[in-house]
Amino acid sequence: MGRMFFFIAEAFRALRRSASPSLAAIVTVVMTTLLLGVFIPVIKASSTTTENVQSQLALYVYMYPDATKKQALGAQKEIDKIRHVQRTELVTPEQGLARLKENIGKSEIGEGITQLKGKNPLPYAVVVHPDNANSLPAIQSSITPKAKNGKAKPISPAIEEVNSGQKTANAIRTVTNAVKVMLTVIAVLLLIVSLLLIANTIRLSIYARRREVEVMRLVGATNWFIRWPFVIEGLIVGLTGAAIAVGMLLVGKLTIIDPLAENFALIEDFHTVGFLPLIIVLLGASIIVSMLGSGIVLRRFLRV
Amino acid sequence: MALLPTRRRRSRADDGKPRSRPDEPAAPRRRPPIVELRDATVVYPGGHVALERVSFGIERGDFVFVVGPTGCGKSTLIRTLIGEVKAASGEVLIAGHDVDRLPKRRIPHLRRRIGTVFQDFKLLPNRTVYDNVAYTLKVTGERRSEIRRKVPEILRLVGLQGKVHNYPDQLSGGEQQRVAIARAFVNHPPLLLADEPTGNLDPETSIGIMQLLYRINRTGTTVLVVTHDREMVDKMRRRVLALDEGRLVRDQVTSTYHEESTSEFGVRVRAEMGVGEGHTNGEPAASPPRS
């Protein structure tokens, strides 16, 4: 126990003495942790959205805006004939608008609907419920079979497009994947930078304390006795940075995300990581990074 | 410590108070010499031969000088003894244990039993005298109460009781070297190695340092002093090992005792040693010359 105090005291003494590199390392760790703290929920949220969309069990067949009710009913009849279709449901533009209002609720966007002033931009639509979620792709290709020229040709001329969860999911997934790759690359780069800066701090510390290390060896300190203060120094840098970042994230969550989530249906629907697991992950990452940073340098520069 | 078990127990028991030679008369069981080199050869990377087939032994409680010009291998000898440099061939034995065959993690424990003093003192500039000395004890995991007891005691022994809270740069060279000696001796190691301890000091201060080393030797600690000052050593009537280009060229007790009895240096240091025509403290004048 007394030893631990000795190590910690030595680490703080070293940090005080090399304040500017330590500060640089801490600031980098803050940046990295902060960005990770934003990236992780964003990536997670976009992934869950993709999953949600995929799991929706219906196909929305939209008519051209100028299609009449008769044409729409004709298209519905055609769709009813397709295998695996359990039931279909015609949604008139009026019903569509009502549903939209219901979904959006009394938020500001909902208020915006009144600005349409009686005009209804929505077309007729047919909601197709399959007997089984797995048959969705088959039904979709039956509604828009491929013509000989390779273009999709709907079974009824009134049909403009078929909006399946699949399609939306694919679109979202493409975007998310790109974002994910970018964010991951940035996060990894930042982690490497943090690691190197922590390593550099420790290296400077070792240089500054060459004499101390020499004396320690002369008077018979064991190798780990010499190493521990440096490891703890790296750990202090990493944890201080992470703690500052977590504090900033907490402030951000309380002042920006939470009020928004109350007002916005959009954000409320996102399922993302909880704040506590996020903090644990961030602190864990900073501990690992600082340990690695110190470890690499000690192995390289502290021949004991 | 497995290394030097008997000695350790003893130094624990009487807590390092100056004492007369412990194993007089001859111990019933013959113990190995505290330092023994057998045909030790040290080659540095690059092929420079620093020590070449050096053989000698030092008995417990001896006071031995190692002399020779710069680059003759004196410092290498010290570094070999504390396990910093490995012998390419031959054996380096401390208390009967081969330093080169010691597992790496035992080396620190070997060094705890060997005090080392250097020409440049190697003090920590940002710590007080007290902390510099306490550092050794902290590193070896000594209890706090022990540290609080031992440090003032050793500082009294080296005559620095008034400078406990000074920093090294507020001390004279001689005082700094006393701090270094205190640090090396605070554990009461059975062996003390001094590499040019007076190299940076004026003659007057050097006398004080040598007297201090003799006083330490009288407590039973074997002292090995490396110096390039052959003339000073010749006046001391102690065993002298002379190295030249890595080879041991002389190993004898200087026999010019009567000739230099008028030298102030010799007289004052010998007075401190208690070595005189009729000294009776049970201490042998020196080890018998080896050939």
Query: Each residue of B260-277: pLDDT tens digit?
Result: 445 666 677 666 665 544
Instruction: Say how far apart CA A139 and CA A104 lie, in whole Å.
Output: 29
Instruction: Say how far apart CA A99 and CA A60 lie, in whole Å.
Output: 14
- Residue A76: alpha-carbon gap to chain centroid: 39
Query: φ, ψ for residue B34 (rounded to 5)?
Result: -70, -35
B127 in contact with A, Cβ within 8 Å: no
Report the mean per-residue pLDDT for chain B: 80
B105 in contact with A, Cβ within 8 Å: yes
Q: A212 to chain B: which residues are within 8 Å by CB?
A: 124
**Contact call for B108 and A218, based on CB within 8 A:** no
Q: A17 to chain B: which residues are within 8 Å by CB?
A: 126
Chain A residues with at least one Cβ partner in B under 8 Å: 2-3, 6, 17, 211-212, 214-223, 225
Flag the least confident range among A130-134, B71-75, B199-203, B262-266.
Answer: B262-266
Closest chain B residue to A209, measured at CA: B124
**Contact call for B143 and A2, based on CB within 8 A:** yes
pLDDT grade, residue A191 (50/70/90)?
confident
Domains (range + CATH), chain A: 2-53+170-301 (no CATH), 58-164 (3.30.70.3040)
Q: Find the mean pLDDT for residues B245-273.
A: 67
Q: A211 to chain B: which residues are within 8 Å by CB?
A: 122, 124-125
* Chain position carrying tokens 């320690």: A216
Closest partner CB to A221 (pick from B124, B139, B183): B139
The pLDDT, as a whole number, for residue A97 is 80
The residues near B30 (Cβ < 8 Å, ≥ 6 apart) are none
Q: A222 to chain B: which residues are within 8 Å by CB?
A: 105, 108
Q: Which residue of A218, A223, A226 is the best one to mutate when testing the B interface, meaning the one whose CB has the most B CBs within 10 A?
A: A218
The pLDDT, as a whole number, for residue A91 is 86
Instruction: Say how far apart CA B212 and CA B214 lie, in whole Å.
Output: 5
Instruction: Say how far apart CA A241 and CA A283 lie, in whole Å.
Output: 9
DSSP state of B101: G
* Pairing verdict, β A59-63 and B222-227: unpaired
B143 in contact with A, Cβ within 8 Å: yes
Flag the least confident range among A70-84, A97-111, B71-85.
Answer: A97-111
Closest chain A residue to B115, measured at CA: A219
Give whichever of A248-252, A253-257, B179-183 has the largest mean pLDDT: B179-183
The residues near B208 (Cβ < 8 Å, ≥ 6 apart) are B174, B178
Q: What is the pTM of this model?
A: 0.66
Flag the least confident range among A47-61, A186-200, A280-294, B92-106.
Answer: A47-61
Instruction: Say how far apart CA A30 and CA A240 lie, in whole Å.
Output: 8
The pLDDT, as a whole number, for residue B133 is 94
Nearest C-alpha of chain B: how many angstroms from A219?
6
Q: Find the mean pLDDT for residues B221-241.
A: 83
Q: Find the mean pLDDT for residues A178-189.
A: 84
Query: Each residue of B182-228: pLDDT tens digit?
Result: 999 998 999 999 999 988 888 888 888 988 999 999 999 999 999 88
Q: A225 to chain B: which residues are within 8 Å by CB?
A: 108, 139
Please name the amino acid found at residue B99: V
**Contact call for B111 and A223, based on CB within 8 A:** no
| Residue B172 and residue B200 in contact, taking contact as beta carbons nearer than 8 Å | no
Q: B122 to chain A: which residues are within 8 Å by CB?
A: 211, 214-215, 218
**Closest Cα partner for A45 from A244, A158, A183, A164?**
A183
Q: B183 to chain A: which residues are within 8 Å by CB?
A: 219
B136 in contact with A, Cβ within 8 Å: yes
- Residue A43: alpha-carbon gap to chain centroid: 2
Query: Each residue of B20-58: pLDDT tens digit?
Result: 444 444 445 678 899 999 999 999 988 889 999 999 999
Instruction: Say how far apart CA A212 and CA A202 lie, in whole Å.
Output: 14
Sign for the CA dihedral angle at A230, A234, A240, A246 comes to negative
Q: Which two tokens stand for residue B117?
A: 């003093």
B144 in contact with A, Cβ within 8 Å: yes
Q: Which two tokens stand for residue A303?
A: 């021949």
Maximum pairwise Cα distance, chain B: 52
Q: Who has greater pLDDT, A159 or B38?
A: B38
- Helix, strand, or coil (residue B15): coil
**Contact call for B122 and A219, based on CB within 8 A:** no
Query: Each residue of A66-79: pLDDT tens digit?
Result: 888 888 888 888 88
**Contact call for A220 and B108, based on CB within 8 A:** yes
Q: B82 to chain A: which residues are within 8 Å by CB?
A: 218
Q: Three-class SS string for B226-246?
A: EECCHHHHHCCCCEEEEEECC
Closest chain A residue to B114, measured at CA: A219
Flag the least confident range among A96-105, A163-172, A223-232, B238-247.
Answer: A163-172
**Closest Cα partner for A196 from A289, A76, A125?**
A289
Q: Who has greater pLDDT, A158 or B259?
A: A158
What is the predicted ipTM? 0.71
- Distances in Å between the Cα of A217 and the Cα atoms of B63, B105, B143 are 25, 12, 20
Please name the amino acid found at residue A131: D
**Contact call for B112 and A215, based on CB within 8 A:** no
DSSP state of B289: P
